[in-house]
Amino acid sequence: MKITSIKDLDAIRQACFSRLYAPDGVKVNVGMASCGIAAGAKASYDRALQEFSSKTGISISQTGCIGFCEMEPLVEIVAQGKPRMMYHHLTEDKIVEAINGYLAKDYNKKWILGQMRDPLSLLEDDIANPQAKVQPVEGFPFLEDIPFYAKQTKIALRNCGYMDPDSITEYIARKGYYAFMQTLTMVPADIIKTVKTSGLRGRGGGGFPTGIKWETCAKHSGDRYIICNADEGDPGAYMDRSILEGDPHSVLEGMLIAALAIGSKQGFIYVRNEYPLAVKRLITAIKEAEKAGLLGDNIAGTPFSFHIKISRGAGAFVCGESTALMSSLEGNVGRPRAKYVHTVEKGFRDGPSNLNNVETYANVPPIILKGGAWYASMGTANSKGTKVFSLVGKVINTGLVEVPMGINLKDIVFGIGGGVPRKKEFKAVQTGGPSGGCIPARMMDLPVDYQKLAEVGSIMGSGGMIVMDRDTCMVDLARYFLDFLKEESCGQCNPCREGIKQMLEILTNICQGNGKDGDIELLEELGVMIQRFSLCGLGTSAPNPVLTTILYFRNEYESHIRDKKCPAGVCKPLFHYEIDPETCTGCRSCAKKCPQEAITGDKKKPHSLDQSKCIKCGICYDTCKFDAIVIR
Amino acid sequence: MNSSVSEASLELDYRELDRIIEEDYQNDKENLIMILQAIQKTYNYVPKPALAYLAVKIGVPVSQIYGVATFYSTFSLEPRGRNIISICLGTACHVRGGDRIRETLEDQLQVHDGQTTSDNRFTLESVRCIGCCSLGPVIKVNEEMHGRLKPDEIKTILSRYE
């Protein structure tokens, strides 16, 4: 059926209500994003299908990722008039028992993360909460109240984990394509005005105001292009993958609205080759939208036509830069160019090109429906709305979190993230990927917005937030990022190509115990030079990880250079493991696991470690529950 | 590079190449990267004779195609092993001990990044973030992900692939 009006959307929405919120039988929703599948969700899904597909009254369905990746596989079970239960770590060996338990109202406390109080998205404020009249089960927390979710506000992630990403019907049921339908009746200038009022800034890293970008692009004549940057290259950030896998239509709708506002007939999604599932779900979404008459020629019976083509990247970090991305879209090597002329004037095929990333586009439909002022009411003076962060590394609750701008780092890392595992000492948080910086533990009161992060030498970037504890060596981390950037530098301009290589050499020397006085100063000098004279954003931001670690962890550099010690126990030539006879209980766990058989000792007696055999693999250090293996 | 498939003996299926270039990608040079991906999927690497053929078909100098094929890290111009191990070296995996996993893999397979074992069983490739950061450290063998890895688990995992 071709959709031509809000009335058509209403009809679909009503018909789909029970499927989403009040199924006749029992509905099992398995979180099937890449991370869920990697944790065993596909096996759980298959097992449930095998057991229940022949039985009536039970349907097994897939959803995207609801964000709490640490708890995966996450499975939700729901039935009309009954609580919506979210199960965690529900692997294939447990899923049948969990479903049978749900049927018998015998809920297994150990497996349940919480019950959902309100499954509606923030756009569905015109209908009553279907769970409102359901009696909650005592003794189970509400999902919305557990620390991981309590401080979150889901706008970009509004549908991830709440619907089947392959179903346009379910997207519409959660008020999808309503914003687009509304913009079809608006003049382009008003759409742009709404986006400008919202204060939305680019979520991919640059943070350029989206409305102004749209406005500038619309002013230039020629064939205009709408491009979505889905080349999420920052290691440690995966919110774009999650949105594409969990809610692809929201990105298509955002692009459609941009196309209307700017006046474009052709869109492109440049997606990483490392994200095969995202590509698959996008292809399905585009086909479904075309079938519904929401993409293609004469959309919704109007003269407006818009096509979207998917283009796959091939593993080049620099292609996240706008001019490099457009060069790659044209089938060329992804090398950036100097931006005397911006891409909004001359970009892809030399036409005016508007490039936003996945998360930015996903934010657009709610802004249209609820108004620019609503979005701008959240956040800080210069950073409005919410931002999705991927909270990973040495943190208990890893996952994707969407929080209002201005929340402080402590609330994210400790409030939502639950702090560092095994109560180890928290050292720093790294934001902004290889272009960002490390923020030390003492600055945890810092409110997170574009400006504040820049003030401490880091950036918002695409939202990667990597938590580090005492076992992370900051010198090694700086070396790691430069090694990454050396590989990914396109090689075009001298400062980046040669400068990064020189900095990396110095850092490698320091990590190997060959550092010398003056190295730190040399790194600083080189860093400033690369920042000032590189051609594109990759080079100008490349020294950030080094400069911020020098700024906040200079003592670690000094102990590497002067004392030839790596306090974190990472740089192998600069430390050795010892067994503390006072704390060693003689449990033999480490001895059993040592691949070199370097650990000896009788049961219940302190063990000893033969340094000549030890290869510093760290297995004993990770295994010991009593912290008896010490770094010296 | 050890390989049982030598370039000279490789017979390219030109009808299959034509299908990829003409039908799937309409001889469009803007699709060059995706054409190369499809070729790599067919042969498990990008055979050099295919580059020359492609140059004629889409009207792009072979030097330029070679430039593209060597610029992007996805492409391999050398034959690869039966199983591709992608080790994630993203930041989250790095701080959770990804380097130790890499060392263990290199040690057990006796190859370095980008190399293939002498029996053609495995090719080891490093990738920068697969986007499964919450499960770090992660490796991907062919299409299968293995997360929350410890170095002592590597041997068992590798034994599952022939």
Mutate to test the interface with B, among A89, A273, A390 (most CBs of B within 10 A): A273
Polymer length of chain B: 162
Q: How confident is the model at residue B10 (pLDDT cuts 50, 70, 90)?
A: low
Task: Give the per-residue pLDDT at B5.
Answer: 46
Examine the pLDDT at B1 and tell me if it is beyond 50. Answer: no
Which residue in chain B is spatially nearest to A619 when comparing CA positions?
A: B151
Q: Does A488 touch chain B (CB under 8 A)?
A: yes
From the candidate CATH numbers 3.40.1410.10, 3.40.50.620, 3.40.309.10, 3.30.70.20, the one assigned to the domain spanning A576-631: 3.30.70.20
| Average pLDDT of the residues in A506-511 | 98
Q: What is the 3-state secondary structure (H, E, C) of A333-364?
A: CCCCCCCCCCCCCCCHHHCCEEEEEHHHHHHH
Q: Are strands B83-88 and A608-609 parallel, antiparallel or unpaired?
A: unpaired
Are A236 and B36 in contact (CB < 8 Å)?
Answer: no
Question: For A177-374, which CATH class?
Answer: alpha beta
CA distance A225 to A259: 8
A75 burial via Cβ count (<10 Å: 0-12, 13-18, 19+): buried
> Does the global pTM surpass 0.80?
yes
Are B100 and A236 in contact (CB < 8 Å)?
Answer: no
From the candidate CATH numbers 3.30.420.40, 1.20.1250.20, 1.20.1440.230, 1.10.3720.10, the one assigned to the domain spanning A474-561: 1.20.1440.230
Measure CB to CB from residue A274 to each of B33, B127, B134 and give the nearest one: B127
Q: Does B26 touch chain A (CB under 8 A)?
A: no
| Average pLDDT of the residues in A515-530 | 97
CA distance to partner chain B, nearest, from residue A574 (Å): 16
Q: What three-state secondary structure class fits A626?
A: coil
Q: How confident is the model at residue B2 (pLDDT cuts 50, 70, 90)?
A: very low
Q: How confident is the model at residue B3 (pLDDT cuts 50, 70, 90)?
A: very low
- Write the pLDDT tens digit of every residue in A260-289: 999 999 999 999 988 999 999 999 999 999
Q: What three-state secondary structure class fits A464?
A: strand
Examine the pLDDT at A484 and tell me if it is beyond 80. Answer: yes
* Residue A39 and residue B133 in contact, taking contact as beta carbons nearer than 8 Å: no
Mutate to test the interface with B, among A392, A396, A486 (most CBs of B within 10 A): A392
Q: What three-state secondary structure class fits B22?
A: helix
Whether CATH 3.40.30.10 fits A11-150: yes
Q: How confident is the model at residue B46 (pLDDT cuts 50, 70, 90)?
A: very high
CA distance to partner chain B, nearest, from residue A316 (Å): 6
Measure CB to CB from residue A399 to each of B97, B128, B134 and give the nearest one: B134
| Average pLDDT of the residues in A37-55 | 94
- Write the pLDDT tens digit of every residue in B123-159: 999 988 888 888 889 999 998 889 989 888 999 999 9
- Write the pLDDT tens digit of every residue in A420-471: 998 899 999 999 999 899 999 999 999 999 999 999 999 999 999 999 999 9
Are A39 and B33 in contact (CB < 8 Å)?
Answer: no
Write the DSSP string, A3-65: --SHHHHHHHHHHHHHHHH--SSEEEEEE-SHHHHHTTHHHHHHHHHHHHTTSTTEEEEEE--
Are B91 and A34 in contact (CB < 8 Å)?
Answer: no
Question: For A386-469, which CATH class?
Answer: alpha beta
For CATH 3.40.30.10, the residue range(s) in chain B are 83-158
Q: Does B128 touch chain A (CB under 8 A)?
A: yes
| Average pLDDT of the residues in A218-231 | 97
Are B32 and A472 in contact (CB < 8 Å)?
Answer: no
CA distance to partner chain A, nearest, from residue B109 (Å): 16
Examine the pLDDT at B17 and tell me if it is beyond 90. Answer: yes
Q: Say which CATH topology domain B83-158 has.
A: Glutaredoxin (3.40.30)
CA distance to partner chain B, nearest, from residue A188 (Å): 30
Are A38 and B91 in contact (CB < 8 Å)?
Answer: no
Measure CB to CB from residue A332 to each of B68, B73, B129 and give the nearest one: B68
Residues of B in contact with A392 (CB under 8 A): 91-92, 133-134, 136
* Residue A195 and residue A210 in contact, taking contact as beta carbons nearer than 8 Å: yes
Mutate to test the interface with A, among B63, B68, B71, B105 (most CBs of A within 10 A): B71
Domain-wise residue ranges, chain A: 11-150, 177-374, 386-469, 474-561, 576-631
Which residue in chain B is spatially nearest to A318 when comparing CA positions?
A: B72
With residue B102 as reference, give the H or E element that holds it: helix B98-109
CA distance A333 to B71: 6
| Average pLDDT of the residues in A317-324 | 94
Examine the pLDDT at A519 and tell me if it is beyond 80. Answer: yes
Q: Taking all residues of chain A, what is their mean pLDDT, rounded to a whole number?
A: 95
Examine the pLDDT at A172 and tell me if it is beyond 80. Answer: yes
Task: Give the per-residue pLDDT at A1.
Answer: 81
Q: Does B103 touch chain A (CB under 8 A)?
A: yes
Q: Does A38 touch chain B (CB under 8 A)?
A: yes
Measure CB to CB from residue B152 to each of A236, A333, A593 and give the nearest one: A593
Q: What ipTM was estimated for this complex?
A: 0.91
Q: Does A298 touch chain B (CB under 8 A)?
A: no
Measure CB to CB from residue B92 to each of A311, A329, A466 and give the nearest one: A466
Cis bond leading into A73, ω under 30°?
Answer: yes
Are A393 and B145 in contact (CB < 8 Å)?
Answer: no
